[in-house]
Amino acid sequence: MAEPIRDEPSPVAVGNSDVVFGGKVWDIRRDEFVYGDHLIIREYVDHTGAVAVLAMDDEDRVLLIQQYRHPIGARDWEIPAGLLDVEGEDPLAGARRELAEEADLAATDWSLLSDFQTTPGGSNEAIRVYLARGLSATPPFARSEEEADIVTAWVSLDEAVEGVLAHRLANGILGHAVLSAFAARAKGWDSLGPADAPWTRHPRLRG
């Protein structure tokens, strides 16, 4: 039987690597490296990585949040998520923090739903999506800036998937999360991983 297709790590030796723009949230990095017989220069967003949480209740409803996103000039529907911008913070701890800060929720049951890269041609951003169950309320968090007027909605997983397929919901993390959960549920959830699984696809957390 043929081996299933899979992504293959293929590190190259990087010569010069410089931050050409240092931003408030992330940087633009320029790398110079040899690939095959070619000297290549590439610029990309050097990203901290992020975690996201698909919170699901006992009725298979998932929590969606709506907030303003300036680059697209819209209030889109998302799931709780945030940058790994706390030095040394464990990704699962970051996910717990984001769930409390953006949704006023805690969870007792955490599983790894999916790891993915958003735009590997232009960014090293890696995202880990957790499935959180066993939910309970936490004290309201004092939100500010774009998060100050977050709106929340509980919708069935089926409705969320239909919103993606009907092109009403376009957020990439939301789409990836609900479609992954829909497929995982169809397989009896046996594709879920432990919440503390090594994050080998994150460029800063390999192993």
Using a 10 angstrom Cβ sphere, with 0-12 exposed, 13-18 middle and 19 or more buried, the burial of residue 49 is buried
- Which one of 98, 145, 147, 162 is the catalytic residue? 147
Could you tell me which residues come within 8 angstroms of residue 187 by beta carbon, excluding any fewer than 6 positions away?
A: none
Instruction: Kindly compute the dihedral angle of the four CA atoms of residues 106, 111, 113, 118, in this order, to the nearest 10 degrees.
Output: 60
| Residue 3 annotated in active site | no
Active-site positions read: 147
